[in-house]
Amino acid sequence: MAHPGGTAGLPADLAVGDDGVPRCRWGDSPPEYRSYHDREWGRPVGEEARVLEKLCLEGFQAGLSWLTILRKRPAFRKAFASFDPASLAAFGDQDLERLLSDPGIVRHRGKIEAALTNARATLALWEEGLSLGGLLWAYEPPRARPAPGSFSEVPSSTAESKALSAELRRRGFRFVGPTTAYAAMQALGVVNDHLAGCRFRASAEKERSRFKPPTRAARAPGPGRGS
């Protein structure tokens, strides 16, 4: 018997959508999930603002659905200066009050304060000649991991995410527990957890094979950045 939305013999955790493409079932619908799954999730990223954004948004997601965060992401980017670390680190009390009254984002004081703290922790890395992207990618596991065949084979955290979480916390980052750290690793392509049989696993892996991970050394911030 065919699985709903799929074809006969298709694993239960895959779905074939109305476009005829097999993908991880969670990414089939609604449209925001499909776009995120197909174009972003598992594709390698090392740029500082993108990494900071992902860590912060994963923190905001705690207790909520990721769909809620995706739908609010444009408002988050507008409110949080596109997660530019230097700009966000400079936010003061007036900015905090503005964010707490912004209906477009998740108005949780602790999570908002954590995002500002994380931006300042990123600048502290820069002061040491390090980079947030480089720190994240330093915990990439061996690439020989087999493709998961079902969601039950995808962990919520790993030894690497636990070590990354501990290092981030040591350096002053907040809302970065092992599960949050692993979700960021998945989204930013540090691991590829698209299921075996998902059309997008191969394209994500191809991008990963071509990607040159950032080193832990960072470029000196340009004028007006990190100063």
What pLDDT tens digit does each residue of the chain (227 aa) get? Answer: 223 344 556 889 999 999 999 999 999 999 999 999 999 999 999 999 999 999 999 999 999 999 999 999 999 999 999 999 999 999 999 999 999 999 999 999 999 999 999 999 999 999 999 999 999 999 999 988 899 999 999 999 999 999 999 999 999 999 999 999 999 999 999 999 999 999 999 999 999 999 999 987 655 444 333 33
Helix (H) or strand (E) holding 78, with range, is helix 66-79
CA distance 212 to 135: 14
**Count of beta carbons in the 10 Å neighbourhood of residue 65:** 9
Point out which residues pair with 135 in neighbouring strands: none
Neighbours of 113 (CB within 10 A): 16
Q: Are 52 and 188 in contact (CB under 8 A)?
A: no
Task: Supply the pLDDT for residue 6.
Answer: 43
4, burial (CB in 10 Å: exposed 0-12, middle 13-18, buried 19+): exposed
Active-site positions read: 36, 58, 66
Which residues lie below 8 Å from residue 46, measured CB to CB, with a gap of 6+?
Answer: 133, 134, 136, 137, 188, 211, 213, 214
pLDDT at 9: 65
* Residue burial 120-159, b: 16+ Cβ < 10 Å; e: rest: bbbbebbeeebbbbbbbbbbbeeeeeeebeeeeebeebbe
Q: Residue 152 has what pLDDT?
A: 96
pLDDT for 218 equals 55
Residues 6+ apart with CB under 8 A from 202: none
Q: What pLDDT, on the 0 to 100 scale, is given for residue 3?
A: 34
Domain locations in the chain as residue ranges: 48-140+149-188
| pLDDT at 208 (0 to 100) | 97
Tell me which CATH homologous superfamily contains domain 48-140+149-188: Hypothetical protein; domain 2 (1.10.340.30)
CA distance 112 to 90: 14
Structure confidence at residue 8 (pLDDT) = 53
For residue 15, the cross-strand partners are 23
Q: Taking the mean position of all CA atoms in its chain, how far away is CA 81?
A: 18
